[in-house]
Amino acid sequence: MDPPSKRKHLSSTGNDNRQFKRSKGGSNGRWQTPHQKAKLESLKGKGLELGDMGIWTTSVKGKERQALQEMMDICNEYAEILYGIKLADPAEDADEDEEDDIESSIKKEIAEMKPANKSEGSTFEPIRMGLDCLSFVRTRLPIDPVELVHHICKDAKQVTDKSQRRSRFINRFTPITLTGKANESGLEEVAKKVLSKHFQLAGDEGHQTTAAERAESSYAIRPTFRAHNTLGRTDVIKKVADMIGPRHKVNLTSPDKVVLIDIFQTFCGMSVVDGDWEAFKRYNLHEIYLAALKASGKPLENPREDSTPSEVKSES
């Protein structure tokens, strides 16, 4: 009687000498539940988008998460101070969940199944950009990024003790009033909308002007480029300067207004801030704290107590 046959051992490469391939994950075209589809759809909207306004924030390298949390705490505090927007108390939400845990779980599941809707989003939305030291906080009306950043920096200048600092890892703020495409037409479109609120535009000399336009404010243009090599610095400055009416003169040392342009990859953001931008250390929160503490006679022994002051490299 023949001995029972043994099961043939298959190697990791298979029984036909073909390379064994590991699954890369994903659905591979398989059917997805509504919850899975909604989750994937919500993830698509978490990046920077055209039309966004908000605040670029640079931070200490390796401390991006902590800096973003600090930024959210600061934004939420000033939202209540400046605009009367108060967040719901998490403790109260927790009590309600305990009282009706089953119902709240069902509501949460239904809410997660719905596609993300920007109009129903929070006032501030943090965005990690996948680049060292850089993040973005998307804001929504009635928040004005320029006003918000100016108040944060103004209060930081009044600090007299290191315990009053609101941040340890944030470096520089750049408020953005509008975001468009980082090409010539996109730059022109964004500039026309942003600049018209502060300057008389070239070609509009015969039109009725506002009080701001009649003030004949001087200006300086300060562009910053990150992960972008399409538009050139000189071309961007010339393009924007040509759009501002001749009644407004360039002043690089003490301008009345500063046009901030931030170009990141395929996005172009812009805002117009007051001339005290330089006095506020170009909105570098860490440098403002250092100067304020030094002026109060209580300078930090170690300016960056927890880490090195590394910041994302940019051309500005």
Q: What is the average pLDDT value for the chain, to the nearest integer? A: 80
- The predicted pLDDT at position 43 comes to 41
Is pLDDT larger for residue 106 or for residue 59?
Answer: 59
pLDDT band for 45, please (50, 70, 90 cuts): very low
Is the pLDDT assigned to residue 5 strictly greater than 90?
no
Q: Of 190, 187, 213, which is closest to residue 202 (Cα–Cα)?
A: 213
Beta pairing class for 124-128 and 178-181:
unpaired
Is pLDDT larger for residue 43 or for residue 29?
Answer: 29
pLDDT band for 30, please (50, 70, 90 cuts): low
Is pLDDT larger for residue 12 or for residue 296?
Answer: 296
Is the pLDDT assigned to residue 74 strictly greater than 70?
yes
- The predicted pLDDT at position 255 comes to 97
pLDDT tens string 96-143: 445 456 566 655 555 544 444 444 458 999 999 888 999 999 999 999
pLDDT tens string 217-265: 999 999 999 999 999 999 999 999 999 999 999 999 999 999 999 999 9
Is pLDDT larger for residue 13 or for residue 287?
Answer: 287
For residues 316 and 224, is the Cβ–Cβ distance under 8 A? yes
User: How far apart (Å, rounded) are the C-alpha atoms in residues 206 and 247?
Assistant: 12
| pTM for the structure as a whole | 0.74
- Lowest-confidence segment of 56-60, 205-209, 273-277, 278-282 by average pLDDT: 205-209
- Strand positions, DSSP E, the chain: 53-59, 124-128, 134-139, 170-176, 178-181, 219-226, 257-264, 267-274
pLDDT band for 24, please (50, 70, 90 cuts): low
Is the pLDDT assigned to residue 305 strictly greater than 90?
no
Q: Within 10 Å of residue 246's Cβ, how many Cβ atoms?
A: 9
- Lowest-confidence segment of 3-7, 120-124, 249-253, 290-294 by average pLDDT: 3-7
User: How far apart (Å, rounded) are the C-alpha atoms in residues 232 and 6?
Assistant: 71
Q: Angle of helix 90-99 relative to helix 101-113, nearest 10 degrees?
A: 110
- The predicted pLDDT at position 312 comes to 47
- The predicted pLDDT at position 173 comes to 98
